[in-house]
Chains A and B, each alone.
Chain A
Amino acid sequence: MINEAPTNLWLMIIALAISAYFLKMFGLVVLGSRQLPKVFDRCLGLIPAALLSALVLKDTFSVGQSLVVDARVAGFVVAVIAAWRRAPLIVVVVLAAGATAFLRAI
């Protein structure tokens, strides 16, 4: 849960909205049809691969700063299998949540 005041969450949302817009606008309007160096392009394209897997692992195997293994692992395994078989998101979430909830209930 949130450790800081709700005002801070509002400030973060505002800062993020401005930054996200600026990044979109910078590419479309300011840079226009200029070319970025290939390496730069490639590294920016890899950000989701690197960050999403970090986020998955953090959300599955950690509570705060400690690594834990709990009912979420069941949901994680189910989600990986479902996503790999290209199930739509709603199916992935429902199956994963079901597996986690089931393990918590028993």
Chain B
Amino acid sequence: MELRRRNVGWHFVVTELRRVVVSSLALGGAVGIFALSFGVASVSAGASVWQTCALSLFVFTGASQFSAMSVVGAGGSMLAAYGGAVLLAARNMVYGLALSSSAKSMAGNLPRRLFAAHFVIDETTALALAESSPRFRKVAFWTTGIGLFTFWNLGTLIGALAGTAIDPQKFGLDIAFPAAFIVMLVPHLRSKLGRQASALGGVLCLVSISFLPIGVPILIAALAVLVGVRNDQ
């Protein structure tokens, strides 16, 4: 009886673990495709294969990488490219907060936390917080983090190599940047505040494009987040 109970418990853990790992891997595959388009877009914007891979290895936060290379590719200054990318990376700070306050799921010694920090991004946070037990949160965080990191960097490398081999203009690949941005934007349009910020950000960018240095309108668009100040819900 005792043995059977233990078996059932063990079986449960294995099935649950498999579920967590499978969903992490499925997400990793999807992210690999995203990385592929980043690789192509980044080299067609003028970065080398090494620079493109360095972005994915060491920056490792998708929207910021896309944004930086989009501004650089348009001929913007490095400072403007950096500014927009850092603004987009700022939300990772909130993710880190959410992860560490969620039932000590990310507790551990300091070196491990410092290492874990590199993997604090949209997907790892979403999948970790979707789990109800602290133990599975940890498993989800690490499987998603390591899986994503692998697929993201493999996809980037393949995309970058492919991008150097073809003429991006001829294949319409300059549209890869806006297409990726549109896909990333859609989930943010579900809330009213998201739609307001998005509309205002777009307008601010369009009206300032002709008289501000390239890339700076993207920073100006950030002012649109102030729609969140007055709206208390």
Contact = CB atoms under 8 A, between A and B. Distances in A.
Contact of B117 (A24, A41, A53, A92): A24
Contact of B46 (A2, A13, A67, A92): A2
Interface stretch (B2-10, B16-24, B200-208): B200-208
A43 B197 CA distance: 9
A16 B59 contact: yes
B198 interface: yes
Nearest to A11: B78
Contact of B33 (A4, A71, A90, A96): A90
A24 B206 CA distance: 31
B180 A93 contact: yes
Interface string A11-45: 11111110111011111110111111011011111
A56 B209 CA distance: 13
B82 A15 contact: yes
Given A1-B46, A50-B224, A96-B175, A25 B84 contact: no
Interface SS of chain B = helix
A54 B201 contact: yes
Contact of B55 (A13, A56, A65, A97): A13
B5 to A, nearest CB: 35
Contacts of B33: 88-90
A29 B185 contact: no
Contact of A29 (B51, B110, B176, B201): B110
Contacts, number: 334
Interface string B87-130: 11111111111111100001000100110111011000000000
A15 to B, nearest CB: 6
Interface stretch (B132-140, B146-154, B166-174): B166-174
Interface of A: 1-4, 6, 8-17, 19-21, 23-29, 31-36, 38-39, 41-67, 71-72, 75-76, 79-80, 83-84, 86, 88-90, 92-93, 96-102, 104
5 nearest A-B pairs in the assembled complex, by CB-CB distance = A27-B96, A50-B201, A100-B172, A28-B96, A54-B221
Given A29-B117, A101-B170, 10 more contacts: A1-B45, A17-B54, A23-B86, A29-B114, A47-B87, A47-B222, A49-B201, A53-B201, A65-B214, A101-B172
Interface of B: 30, 33-34, 36-37, 45-48, 51, 54-55, 58-61, 63-64, 66-68, 70, 72-78, 81-82, 84-101, 106, 110, 113-114, 116-118, 120-121, 169-186, 188-189, 193-195, 197-202, 204-206, 209-214, 217-218, 221-229, 231-232
